[in-house]
Amino acid sequence: MSAKYAVFGQPIAHSKSPQIHEAFAAQRSQALKYERIAPNEDEFESAVEAFFAEGGQGANVTLPFKERAYAMCKVRTERAEQAQAVNTLWMENGQLHGDNTDGAGLLADMIRNLNWKLINKRILVVGAGGAVRGILGCLLTAGAQEVVITNRTFERAEELAQQFNIRAVALDALAEETPFNIIINGTSASLAGESLALPLGILADSAYCYDMMYGEEPTPFMQWAQTQGAEVSDGLGMLVQQAAESFYRWHGWRPATVALLKDMRDASTETLS
Ligand code: NDP
């Protein structure tokens, strides 16, 4: 019988996780069933309990349930504690365990796939929602010279700055900052087709700009960054890498990601042409 996995979210029909995990499992001819589950708002906890009671071996969790998954876990990894959100669940010794693989996924994409150098770089993180909370702990291990956070609602940036012991700078004070080598857009502005209100001159020479969002076309932030001469990426590689981290957590085996990421990019180009 196939091992049973799932992703919980609402909405979830768009999720690429089944495709990614099935491709990982195929690399070693492993039979794996991975489904999408969209519980009603008030039924997330009971749906997770039923899934594991019925033999589910691992689950991913996405919006809007990551914080509730965190609250359900009896045992959590350090990075899940830092994020206060969980995207990877499994049972061990009869207890629900939780991890957060988003930050590791982002780092793996930037460093291994994109070959971006983070050591001694000045990094600006824009946004202060769940996604940014999920990546800051890992990002701070990458050897950057400084990680600075900004956000439309400045108080939220200040809260995270305090938790992670970094500096928060208001959007309208960014023009006074030394230019940044890397900007990570962790907001959902791109989802609304909006760019960020960043000042000219904020990017150093040969800068990198990463939008955690992914879609079929470059986001407004990526387009802005390209006009400033920066190298850009969307967040599809982060999605694949965070899945690889979950896969490793469940199966103790690290899948290859480069060819899959290329296939997914090629497929999305074909859809457009
Ligand atoms: P949240 O709703 O928790 O936070 C949204 C953030 O975006 C807040 O900081 C909010 O600012 C800011 N924001 C929203 N609209 C605008 C705007 N028009 N201009 C400026 N800032 C804005 O969302 P998440 O943190 O969960 O997700 C953020 C993004 O990260 C999403 O696009 C999501 O797709 C992506 N993501 C990608 C992953 C991947 O694997 N690639 C994994 C996880 C997330 P304010 O506080 O002022 O409201």
**For 190-220, how does the pLDDT look when each residue is reduced to its tens digit (9 = 90+)?**
888 898 989 999 999 999 999 999 988 999 9
SS3 assignment for the chain: CCEEEEEECCCCCCCCHHHHHHHHHHCCCCCEEEEEECCCHHHHHHHHHHHHHCCCCEEEECCCCHHHHHHHCCEECHHHHHHCCCCEEEEECCEEEEECCHHHHHHHHHHHHCCCCCCCCEEEEECCCHHHHHHHHHHCCCCCCEEEEECCCHHHHHHHHHHHCCEECCHHHHHHCCCEEEEEECCCHHHHCCCCCCCCCCEEEEEEEEECCCCCCCCHHHHHHHHCCCEEECCHHHHHHHHHHHHHHHHCCCCCCHHHHHHHHHHHHHHHC
Domain edges within the chain = 3-100+237-272, 103-234
List, for residues 19-36, the tens digit of each pLDDT value. 999 999 999 999 999 999
Q: Which of the listed residues 17, 100, 188, 238 should we mutate to test ligand 1's pocket, taking the one with most ligand atoms within 8 A of CB?
A: 188
Catalytic residue ranges: 66
Topology at the third CATH level for domain 3-100+237-272: Rossmann fold (3.40.50)
Q: Which of the listed residues 187, 190, 211 should we mutate to test ligand 1's pocket, taking the one with most ligand atoms within 8 A of CB?
A: 187
Q: Give the residue-averaged pLDDT of 161-165.
A: 97
- pLDDT attached to residue 1: 61
> Whose C-alpha lies nearest to ligand 1, atom 18?
189
Question: Cα of 3 to ligand 1 centre, how many Å?
Answer: 33
- pLDDT attached to residue 216: 87
- pLDDT attached to residue 87: 97
Q: Do domains 3-100+237-272 and 103-234 have the same CATH topology?
A: yes
Question: Cα of 220 to ligand 1 centre, how many Å?
Answer: 14
pLDDT over threshold 80, residue 269: no
pLDDT over threshold 80, residue 226: yes
- pLDDT attached to residue 163: 96
The reply to whether the predicted model has a pTM over 0.85 is yes
For ligand 1, residues with CB inside 6 Å are 63, 102, 127-132, 151-153, 156, 186-189, 191-192, 194, 196, 212-214, 235, 238-239, 242
Q: Which CATH architecture is the domain 103-234 placed in?
A: 3-Layer(aba) Sandwich (3.40)
The residue count of the chain comes to 273
- pLDDT attached to residue 271: 52
Question: Cα of 129 to ligand 1 centre, how many Å?
Answer: 6
- pLDDT attached to residue 49: 98
> Whose C-alpha lies nearest to ligand 1, atom 39?
239
